[in-house]
Amino acid sequence: MAVENFDEKINILEKKVKEAVSRALDLVRLDEIRVKYLGRKGELNDLIKELPGIPEELKAHNGRRLNSVRNDLENLINKKSVELKDKFVEEKLKKEGIDVTMPGRSVSLGHLHPLTKVERRIEDIFQSMGFSVVFGSEIESEYYNFDALNISKDHPAREMQDTFWIKNPKSEIQNPKQHLLLRTHTSPMQARYMEKNNPPLRIIVPGRVYRHEATDASHEIQFHQIEGLMVGEDISLANLKAIFEEFFKRFFNKKKVEIRFRPGYFPFVEPGIEVDIKLETGSKWLEVAGAGMVHPKVFKAAGYIPGKQQGFAFGVGLDRLSMIYYGISDIRLFYSSDFRFLKQF
């Protein structure tokens, strides 16, 4: 083999690699070049294999040349690899770059449900009049929901409140203290609270209640009540009227709210009344609560000494009051989870 030929072969290889490297646009292509020319089975190794065939006196010179060309080309490829990596990062940053001068996106915050807002307003007003806020359990026993409130098993008043009963899987024996239900009103807390606390007392009990009845624009199967109870030596319906007048005035932000008591029937009060309000002269009366003087049998069931105290109790429908307050025509909207409705509050 002519010596010039071998020298020339090295030159051509060197030139080819340099050109290929300069044209490589990404790291994948660069690696292909490395494998093709400098890899174990690459073209440079092919030339090394040819070394034994050239004249003895030139072997050393060409051997050194091959080594130095390999080193140069490896350095060249490494340098190019760093360049390509830098370019890749730069382009990625350009694409995903953050413009710190752009205005931020506004975060939309949630807010309280309208019924919660109304409940808190009511709690605030009653608390400012010296009432404590207490809570009861939504799962209640037959005893506290009915018996302790003078509604015995075959009392027709039980049918006034269609009940969701909870089956007791352990026993068929229906002990009223163990027989569970979803409370049909907040009144059971009257009995529970008086069992543990002596008069004088004034409490309100806000909470969710359940009735197994058909729904319509003013009836839900799950709704809210606020129970009120005030007991002392000489608490009368006049006190209830004064408290309601003050409460409704503040609740509706009015100078005056007219209040009307009509006879009503609830087994746990005597006398029992229905409470109506009128917000403007000339407007119609709105029914807002059931109420009355606590029945002696309710005091007795709570363990109070007969004749030692008297007091009033009331039950306000929170949903109905919220409907009046916000001018909402259908109670079911409160429970629809419809954002178009909820966003208005």
Question: Least Å distance between CB 185 and ligand FA5?
Answer: 3
User: How far is it between the farthest Cα atoms of the chain?
Assistant: 133
Secondary structure percentages of the chain, helix, strand, coil, to 5: 45, 20, 35
Nearer to ligand FA5 among residue 42 and residue 311 (C-beta): 311
Nearer to ligand FA5 among residue 38 and residue 115 (C-beta): 115
User: Tokens 């909820």 appear where?
Assistant: 342
Which pair of tokens denotes residue 323? Answer: 């409907």
The correct pick among 77, 125, 231, 269 for binding ligand FA5 (CB under 6 A) is 269
Nearer to ligand FA5 among residue 34 and residue 211 (C-beta): 211
Give the separation between CA 3 and CA 134, rounded to whole angstroms.
Answer: 106
Task: Decide if residue 140 touches ligand FA5 (CB under 6 A).
Answer: no
The correct pick among 70, 202, 211, 295 for binding ligand FA5 (CB under 6 A) is 211
Give the separation between CA 331 and CA 219, rounded to whole angstroms.
Answer: 7
Task: Decide if residue 251 touches ligand FA5 (CB under 6 A).
Answer: no
Task: Decide if residue 266 touches ligand FA5 (CB under 6 A).
Answer: yes
Question: Least Å distance between CB 342 and ligand FA5?
Answer: 19
Minimal CB distance to ligand FA5: which residue?
317
Give me the residues paired with residue 226 across strands. 206, 316
Question: Least Å distance between CB 105 and ligand FA5?
Answer: 40
Which pair of tokens denotes residue 161? Answer: 């409140």
Which pair of tokens denotes residue 276? Answer: 């109506």
> What mask of x and - would describe binding to ligand FA5 in positions 166 to 205, judged by CB under 6 A?
-------------------x-x------------------
Give the separation between CA 31 and CA 24, rounded to whole angstroms.
Answer: 9
Helix (H, G, I), strand (E, B) or coil at 81: helix
Question: Least Å distance between CB 234 and ligand FA5?
Answer: 19
CA triple 242-247-252, angle to 5 deg: 135
Residues that bind ligand FA5 (CB under 6 A): 185, 187, 211, 213, 219-220, 223, 225, 227, 266, 269, 287, 289-292, 313-315, 317, 319-320, 331
